[in-house]
Amino acid sequence: MTTTPDRNRVQLPGISSRAYEHPADRSALVALRSLSGFDTVLKQMSGLISERRLRLIYLASAVRTSETQFRALYDMGRDAAYILDLHRVPEIYVQQDPSVNAKAIGFDDPFIVVTTGLLNLMNDEEQRFVIGHETAHILSGHAVYRTMLDILTRLAARVAWIPLGYIGLRAIVAGLEEWYRKSELSADRGGLLCGQDPEAALRALMKLAGGSQLHEMNIEAFLDQAREYDTAGDVRDGFLKVLNLLGTTHPFAVARVAELDRWRRSGEYEAILGGDYPRRADDANAKITEEMRAAARSYRESWAQSQDPFIGVLRDVAEGAVHAGERIFNRFSRRDAG
């Protein structure tokens, strides 16, 4: 059961997660959803990760929010479910842990875990963004791919002594890590849609980098940092930036703030609040090819906007490969026609 939000936030009836998903994330999810029974197979593969077992652990060792425990957080969860039109409100558990973290867990009956470190760091509206972020993960069904990444990472460690096998698995893991980072950008957008307070969303992400001393920080200055990070250095620095991402599942804080601010300013955020968004009822009609093109277009636009010299080199190489591929394809097409 859901209730109306505690202030005038816009509900988004029947919203599809495709509305806020990053194109690279969305194309992968549309492809995954088209594979009938894939999630069932993955659940069987991940037998070591028992959703029931995890729920029992948190039920025994954490505090479950309710009308009498962490009431404000409990209401935020109900609000997020109301706005994204979830049929079921996910349970929220508060875990005693000084580290700043929140996560959504589970396939069939997902729930959210928030640490006391995060609650101590963020105010109510920033917490609302975080709960919306995790609720967006649930609506998107990100747990399936995340479990796959966990399985393949463990498998890669076990076969590290087989050079070719390890290299192949590492390539797959690197691809999944890139998807994982894009899924975080998607959930940031979903969190903004739930909280509908852009400043609070940007503050929450900035605090992940600088801590609680908000009076010592400034959003515009932090966005300047993001621009400097994008443009700083030469090709060597750009290569180091790529290396720094290896093994990571979350984009850096400056990148997340810049991406969320760019998405908000693009007009998509206001359009969704105005009712212009894809509906869940039409998810089955989403075409993989169209989503793949949108993902490719997103990367091209991102590369075109970047001032990083190394990205410029990659862009030139990629464009050359595309043009060569088109020439080869056209040549064989003419030959087949002949």
pLDDT at 231: 77
Residue-level pLDDT at 267: 95
The burial of 13, by beta-carbon neighbours within 10 Å (0-12 exposed, 13-18 middle, 19 or more buried), is given as exposed
| Predicted pLDDT at 251 | 86
Q: What is the pLDDT of residue 113?
A: 95
Maximum C-alpha span of the chain: 77
Give 258's contacts (C-beta < 8 A, 6+ positions apart). 223, 226, 227, 230
Residue 41, phi then psi, degrees to nearest 5: -60, -45
Query: 199 catalytic, yes or no?
Result: no
Say what the pTM is.
0.77
How far apart, in whole angstroms, are the C-alpha atoms of residue 203 and residue 220?
11
Strand order in the sheet with 111-115: 63-64, 92-95, 111-115, 102-105
Of 258, 125, 145, give the one whose Cα is nearest residue 199.
125
Task: Return the structure tokens found at 178.
Answer: 């890139």
CB contact burial 77-108 (16+ within 10 A = b; e otherwise): bbbbbbbbbbeebbbbbbbeeeebebebbbbe
Q: Which is catalytic among the residues 21, 126, 134, 184? A: 134
Question: What is the mean pLDDT for each group of 10 consecutive residues in the chain (338 residues)?
Answer: 60 94 71 55 56 88 98 97 95 97 86 97 98 95 69 60 56 69 92 97 96 94 89 64 70 92 95 95 73 54 50 44 43 48
pLDDT score, position 318: 43
Q: Could you say which DSSP state residue 69 is in? A: S
Q: Which of 186, 196, 183, 207 is nearest to 79 (CA)?
A: 196
- Taking the C-alpha atoms of residue 127 and residue 200, their distance in angstroms, rounded to an integer, is 9
Task: Judge residue 216's burial from the number of C-beta atoms within 10 Å of its C-beta, 0-12 exposed, 13-18 middle, 19 or more buried.
Answer: exposed
